[in-house]
Structure 1
Amino acid sequence: MKTLYLVRHAKSSWKHDVIDHQRPLKGRGKRDGELVSIHLKGQIKPPQLIVTSDAVRALTTAQYFKKALGVADADFKTNHELYDFSGNQVMRIIKNLNDSLDIVMVVGHNHAFTSIANMLGNKYIDNLPTCGFVMIQFDEKSWSSISTGKTIKTVFPRDLK
């Protein structure tokens, strides 16, 4: 069985004069990152690997989950190809995960993550909100074989406020 955790980056700030890739989280994004990650601690098994977009807002969001879920530095990777809004590169990364891994968290961007959550899960999500979490399980032994799985859990910041 394979379990995929999808996390859309938390709310970013538009106050800074930086390129999109360098946009940081705003205050609400930082609070939501901490809120959702701490809420999930003890409710889910820690991922064996976290792979995150290297965009500042996604990387910072992923670090909240890394800390709350106790993921080791060696099991925390950035991948520039996750700076993807269509989902094609994200799916390629998921399908090429090492089959020795059973639980993986991927942190990235919309519109890709809403599309992927709907394509891979069996519960329709209109829009995966910022810092939204989706857990999907697949009755497969290989990541390359996954198709439609079962949406087990969703946690959105608004559910916790």
Structure 2
Amino acid sequence: MKRLCLWRHAKSDWGDPAKDDFDRPLNARGAKAAEFMAGYITNSTYRPDTVLCSTAARARETCAPLAARLGNRVPIIYRDELYHAMPDAMLDEIRRAPDTAQTLLLVAHNPGLVLLAMALAEDPDEETALRIAHGVPTGGFIVFEFDVERWSDIADGKGRSVFFGRPRDLMTDEKT
């Protein structure tokens, strides 16, 4: 069995209209959410063996607190191809992931990420299907499981959606 985690970059800063989209950093809320989600992911059963991350500034900054927690035990692979990638390009990267990784985390962007989640979902529960259909918010985290031995065998419509979380909901849950 393989587990695929999809993590949309955290909230980015739109304060400098002259800044190129690729170079936009996280805003303060996004940095806080990335830090929280990094802790959540590393302390969960969804801790990755390998991470694939877009090279855009906001994706790298989202991934940075996770990389710090994971240390050099988990490879973080930065891929230009994941910047504003559509599902087919994301699937190509996933299918090339090392089969030694049982849990793979992909850090990328919408709209490709939500389209990928919709394509992968075999039979999501109604709440998860509605959340995916309405988009993956910044910092959103979705987990799929696949009954395959190799990443190259991942196919559309064959993943079981087992988790969907938003930073603000998870932060609230942790406070209660």
TM-score, shorter chain, exceeding 0.5: yes
Which residue number corresponds to residue 155 of structure 1? Answer: 165
Give percent identity, aligned residues only: 29
Distance 1:85 1:133 in 2: 17
Distance 1:133 1:25 in 2: 17
Aligned structure 1 segments of 4 or more residues deviating by more than 6 angstroms: none
Taking structure 1 as reference, are residues 101 and 41 closer, same or farther at Cα in structure 2, changes over 3 Å only? closer
1:74 Cα offset (Å): 6.2
Note if contact 2:41-2:47 (Cα within 8 Å) is conserved in structure 1. no
User: Superposed, which structure 2 residues align to 1:45-124 within 5 Å?
Assistant: 45-68=46-69, 70-72=70-72, 75-121=75-121, 122-123=123-124, 124=129
Q: TM-score, normalised by structure 1?
A: 0.91
Q: What RMSD in Å do the two structures reach over aligned CA positions?
A: 1.6
Distance 1:84 1:105 in 2: 17
Which residue number corresponds to residue 26 of structure 1? Answer: 27
- Answer yes or no: is 1:144 the counterpart of 2:152: yes
CA displacement, residues 75-102 of structure 1 (integer Å, 9 cap, x when unaligned): 1111000002422211110122222221
Distance 1:23 1:89 in 2: 22
Q: TM-score, normalised by structure 2?
A: 0.84
Distance 1:39 1:143 in 2: 24
1:158 Cα offset (Å): 2.4
Structure 2: give runs of 5+ residues left out of the alignment: none
Distance 2:31 2:23 in 1: 15
> Which has the higher Rg, Structure 1 or Structure 2?
2
Which residue identity does 2:60 align to in structure 1?
A: L
Distance 1:76 1:155 in 2: 22
Taking structure 1 as reference, are residues 132 and 45 closer, same or farther at Cα in structure 2, changes over 3 Å only? closer
Structure 1: give runs of 5+ residues left out of the alignment: none
Comparing both structures, which one devotes a greater share of its residues to helix? Answer: 2
1:59 Cα offset (Å): 0.6
